[in-house]
Structure formats: structure tokens, C-alpha cells
Structure 1
Amino acid sequence: MRWLILFLLAPMAAFAQDLRGNDTASNWRVTHYESFGVWNSICDEREEYGALKQRCYIRRAEVFSYRPKFGAQYVFITPAPTGVQVEFGIEPGTLFWPSGFRIDGSDGVVWRTRSPGCLTGLGCTFDGSGADEIIAAMLDGDAYRFVFRDRHGQAQDLKWPLQQFDAAWSDFQQQAQTRNLLTLQ
């Protein structure tokens, strides 16, 4: 049941819309799904105006607070013209500690952001060299660490292990390349 909830809650708004822009589960057909610890490598497809539209992504989603004070956070890694894009889904009203949005390794902090959008839930997307830096840190690090107050004022401390991210990354790259969605540089 938990996986079903995570699967339904995790997609970005654009991923959860039909061709007319309505919020719906839509008509995407999953063509590939593999789990690597907390990381999912997924590809799906649908017909759009007579043409096949395909997509692949790595996803991690966590519902950290259930009703009535629902709260969730996710990350999507998708192909982009400059390599990949890394998007964090953070609810508006979330406030991170200045050092609370980071990747930890065995010797301390491997990566962190101090982007105002990321630290306040206003928008947190990286592409180009910024996305490359995050992926490298994810491959070298031990865990994401998120320390924040959610939109309801509740203290949260999330830890997302990175132990199997390398396998998810390899699977995603292979699947996206097979579908001509990703070109490695």
C-alpha cells in the first residue's frame, strides 16, 4: 500500500496531467520499472497527437507526514538537453536550516545548496553543471540529509540513503539511451 501511495503522489504536475492539462493519472503506460533501495528507475510512454512520447526518470519520494497535516518531498532526475535535470519537489512554506539541504559522506558534507528557492520551497531545479555536480555527489555520498520545518511548522529530519543510487543511475542511463532520450557526454 505504501508503494502505491508513493507512486501516486510522486509525479510532478506535468507528469500527472492529461493532454488537455487536466490533473489526472492520465494514460501513461509503464514500460520499465526497477527499484534500487529507495530509488526507482522508471520509463513510460503514451500517444500524444499521433506520435509516441517516451520518458525515463529516477524518482525518490517520501511522505513524511500523513493526514491531516500531509507533507511529502521528492526528487526527479530526467534527461535534459544539457545532460540531466534534477528537480526537488518541496512544498511552499518549507524552511530548511542553512546547512539542512545536503549530501553527507564518510568525511562530512559532500554537497549542499544554499539556493533560496530550495531552502524555502519556492523551486529547486538544477541542470547543466549544477545537475552534474549533484549526480557526482550522489554517487560518492552516503545519504541526503534534509533538516527543516515543514509548512505546518513541524520539525523534520529526513535521511535518504544513497547506497544503491549507482545501480539506479546505471539503469536509468541505459534505459534512457535505449529510447534515445539521453546522450552521455
Structure 2
Amino acid sequence: MRWLILFLLTPIAALAQDLQGNDTASNWRVTHYETYGVWNSICDEREEYGALKQRCYIRRAEVFSLRPKFGAQFIFITPAPDGVEIEFGIEPGTLFRPSGFRIDGKDGAVWRTRRPGCLTGLSCTFDGVGADEIVEAMLKGEAYRFEFRDRHGQAQDLTWPLQEFSAAWADFQQQAQARSLLTSQ
């Protein structure tokens, strides 16, 4: 998990998997990188078995605890066959409060999840209508709020501002469409 977080926090893909799946220096070349507040809109490419592979994504990663009790959380928004896929990377052993995984607006929560996997540090991925609802909430909301106990038992309260998300979203859509990576948006 630590190597994944290092990759997520690096503007160029210096640490990533090679074509055999090994955690080695990668041959991904960044072709687009813009920062909008805490949000990054990134595209990169590499040759895979004689063909050009391109990808674009929005990313936010936060290391909330350094060594020796390392802890981090991230979100990736990537193109998917039915729009976009949203993946939250949460440390195994994390326990969220029942209403502690949400997007807040001026008048309270505009979106929240109560999925057991999301609230307990297991798989937390949304696609289709679920991903569309999250993007809509991100465009309207003011901030993500994450209130939880990390895998070391420490209370955490993270806030990810959404004021710059709409600009990151527009950039991501433009870049992904220019590379024919988005099929419906």
C-alpha cells in the first residue's frame, strides 16, 4: 500500500508497475498534468506490446499519518464503459463513523455512503449511476468529510475541499475525450 501511495503522490509516474506487474520504475510518460486545488487531472501513456496505451484520471491522495503509523487515503476517477469509475483507496482496518463518509454542502450532507466495504477499509468502488451521483454531489458540494478510526486506532477527521473540483472535472473530460477515452459524458 505504501508504494501505491507514493505513486499517487508523485506527479510523474516514477514508481509504478511494469508490464509484468512488478513494482519497478515505470515507462508511463505524463502527457498532461494540471492541479486544481487539491485535485489533479492527469493523462499519461506508454507502449504496451506494440500499441500505445493512454489513460486519464482525476486523483486526490492524502497521507494523514507518517511513519511509523503510516496511513493514507485516495480517490481515483477514471473513464469506464458506462461513464466513469470512482475508486476510494482506504487502509484495511479503517472504521468510519456511520455518517463519516460523506460530501457536505451548505445545508449538510448531499451524499454519503453506508456501504460496508467503504466503511471498513475494504473495496470501495462506484460505477454507473452510483458514480454519476457522486460526481453530481462533488460538483454541488463544498467538501468531502471523512471521520474514522485508522488501522492504528487513531481518530482521524479529513476534509477535502471541492471548490476547485469542477475545473478539474472539466479538464479531465476535455483531456479524456481528446484521447477517445470517455464513451458517455
Same fold (TM over 0.5): yes
Partners in 2 of 1:116 and 1:39 — Cα distance?
26
Look up the match of 1:139: 139
The 1-side partners of 2:89 and 2:73 are apart by: 5
Tell me what 1:150 maps to. Answer: 150
| Partner of residue 160, structure 1 | 160
| Runs of 4+ with deviation above 4 angstroms | none
Which residue of structure 2 aligns with residue 22 of structure 1? Answer: 22
Letter in 2 for 1:63: V
C-alpha contact 1:10 1:74 (8 A) present in aligned 2? no
Q: Is structure 2 residue 77 aligned with structure 1 residue 77? A: yes
16-25 vs 76-85, which moves further:
16-25
Q: Counterpart amino acid of 2:103?
A: I
Q: Is the 8 A contact 1:139 1:162 kept in 2?
A: yes
Over the matched positions of the two proteins, sequence identity in percent amounts to 81
Secondary structure at 1:181 match in 2: coil
Structural RMSD (CA): 1.6
* CA positional deviation for 1:148: 0.2
Offset of residue 7 of structure 1? 5.8
Q: Give 1:34's aligned residue.
A: 34
Unaligned runs of 5+ in 1: none
Paired residue total: 178
1:10 deviates by: 4.6
Residue 85 of structure 1 contacts residue 131 of structure 1 at CA under 8 Å; is this kept in 2?
yes
Deviation, structure 1 residue 184: 3.0
1:98, 1:114 within 8 Å by CA — same for their partners in 2? Answer: yes
Gaps of 5+ in 2: none
